[in-house]
Chain A
Amino acid sequence: MDATLTAADLATRPVTIPGLGRPLRTEEMVISMGPQHPSTHGVLRLELVVDGEIVVDVIPHLGYLHRCFEKHCEAMANYQQVIPYADRLDYVAAMSNELGYVIAVERLLKIQVPERVEYIRVIMAEFSRIVSHLIAIGTYGMDIGAYTPFLYCMRDREHVLDIFEETCGARLLYNYMWVGGLSHDVPASFEEKVKKFVKYFRPNIKELNNLLSYNKIFIDRTANVGVLPGDVALNYACSGPVLRGSGVKWDLRKNDPYSIYDRFDFEIPVGRGAKGTTGDCWDRYMVRIHEMEQSTNIIEQAIEKLPAGDVQSAIPRRIRPDAGEIYFRSETPKGELGYYIVSDGTASPYRVKVKSPCFVNLSALPAISRGAMIADIVAILGSIDIVLGEIDR
Chain B
Amino acid sequence: MIPSEIAELLKARFGGAVVETKLEGVIDPWVKIAPDRIREVATFLRDDKTQFDTLMCLTGMDYTGGKLGVVYHLASTPLGHKITLKVDVPTDNPHVQSVESVWKTANWHEREAYDMIGIVFDGHPDLRRMLCPYDWEGHPLRKDYKVPEYYNGMKVPY
Question: Which of A66-74, A111-119, A309-317 is near enough to bind chain B?
Answer: A66-74
**In residues 63-80 of chain B, which contact A (Cβ within 8 Å)?**
71, 73, 77, 80
Given A63-B130, A256-B80, A355-B56, the answer on whether A327 and B73 have CB atoms closer than 8 Å is: yes
Q: With an 8 A cutoff between CB atoms, is B127 at the interface?
A: no
B131 touches A62 (CB 8 A): yes
How many residues of B sit at the interface, in one of the four size bands? Answer: 20 to 34
B107 touches A255 (CB 8 A): no
B80 touches A360 (CB 8 A): no
How many residues of A sit at the interface, in one of the four size bands? Answer: 35 or more
Q: With an 8 A cutoff between CB atoms, is B132 at the interface?
A: yes
**In residues 49-97 of chain B, which contact A (Cβ within 8 Å)?**
53-57, 59, 61-62, 71, 73, 77, 80, 84
A235 touches B104 (CB 8 A): yes
**In residues 358-385 of chain A, which contact B (Cβ within 8 Å)?**
359-360, 363-364, 367
**In residues 334-393 of chain A, which contact B (Cβ within 8 Å)?**
336, 338, 340, 342, 351, 353, 355, 359-360, 363-364, 367, 392-393
CB distance from B27 to the nearest CB of A (A): 5
A360 touches B108 (CB 8 A): yes
A327 touches B84 (CB 8 A): yes
B131 touches A327 (CB 8 A): no
Given A66-B132, A234-B77, A237-B56, the answer on whether A359 and B108 have CB atoms closer than 8 Å is: yes
Query: Which B residues touch A85, using CB under 8 A?
Result: none
Given A324-B26, A326-B27, the answer on whether A340 and B71 have CB atoms closer than 8 Å is: yes
Q: With an 8 A cutoff between CB atoms, is A108 at the interface?
A: yes
Q: How far is the CA of A338 from the CA of B73 in the complex (A)?
A: 10
Q: With an 8 A cutoff between CB atoms, is B137 at the interface?
A: no
A325 touches B104 (CB 8 A): no
CB distance from B2 to the nearest CB of A (A): 16
Listed residue (B26, B73, B131) with the most chain A CB atoms within 10 angstroms of its CB: B131
Q: How far is the CA of A107 from the CA of B53 in the complex (A)?
A: 26
Contact of A363 among B28, B73, B80, B105 (CB under 8 A): B105
Q: How far is the CA of A234 from the CA of B132 in the complex (A)?
A: 27
CB distance from A357 to the nearest CB of B (A): 11
Q: With an 8 A cutoff between CB atoms, is B44 at the interface?
A: no
**In residues 226-257 of chain A, which contact B (Cβ within 8 Å)?**
232, 234-237, 248, 250, 255-256
B53 touches A393 (CB 8 A): no
A71 touches B132 (CB 8 A): no
Q: With an 8 A cutoff between CB atoms, is B138 at the interface?
A: no
Contact of B27 among A236, A324, A393 (CB under 8 A): A324
Q: With an 8 A cutoff between CB atoms, is A329 at the interface?
A: yes
CB distance from A361 to the nearest CB of B (A): 10
Q: How far is the CA of A250 from the CA of B133 in the complex (A)?
A: 35
CB distance from A236 to the nearest CB of B (A): 5
CB distance from B136 to the nearest CB of A (A): 9
Given A63-B132, A325-B28, the answer on whether A235 and B103 have CB atoms closer than 8 Å is: yes
Task: Tell me the dominant secondary structure on chain A's binding face.
Answer: mixed
Listed residue (A237, A250, A256, A351) with the most chain B CB atoms within 10 angstroms of its CB: A237
A255 touches B57 (CB 8 A): no
Query: Which B residues touch A351, using CB under 8 A?
Result: 59, 61-62, 141
B140 touches A71 (CB 8 A): yes
Query: Which B residues touch A71, using CB under 8 A?
Result: 140-141
Query: Which B residues touch A108, using CB under 8 A?
Result: 27
CB distance from B149 to the nearest CB of A (A): 17
Query: Which A residues touch B62, using CB under 8 A?
Result: 351
Q: Which residue of the partner chain A has the closest CB to B62?
A: A351
CB distance from B135 to the nearest CB of A (A): 12
Contact of B104 among A236, A329, A353, A392 (CB under 8 A): A236
A68 touches B27 (CB 8 A): no
Bitwise, B13-37 to A at CB < 8 A (1) or not (0) is: 0000000000000111000000000
Nearest 9 CB-CB pairings of A with B: A237-B105, A355-B57, A63-B131, A353-B59, A363-B108, A66-B131, A237-B54, A326-B27, A327-B73
| 9 other A-B residue contacts (CB within 8 Å) besides A325-B28, A327-B28 | A66-B132, A70-B141, A107-B27, A235-B103, A256-B80, A342-B61, A351-B62, A355-B56, A364-B104
> Interface of B with A (CB < 8 Å)?
26-28, 53-57, 59, 61-62, 71, 73, 77, 80, 84, 103-105, 107-108, 116, 129-133, 140-141
* 18 sample A-B contacts, Cβ–Cβ < 8 Å, listed by A number: A62-B130, A66-B132, A70-B116, A237-B55, A325-B26, A325-B27, A326-B28, A327-B28, A329-B56, A336-B56, A338-B56, A342-B61, A351-B61, A351-B141, A359-B108, A363-B108, A367-B104, A392-B131
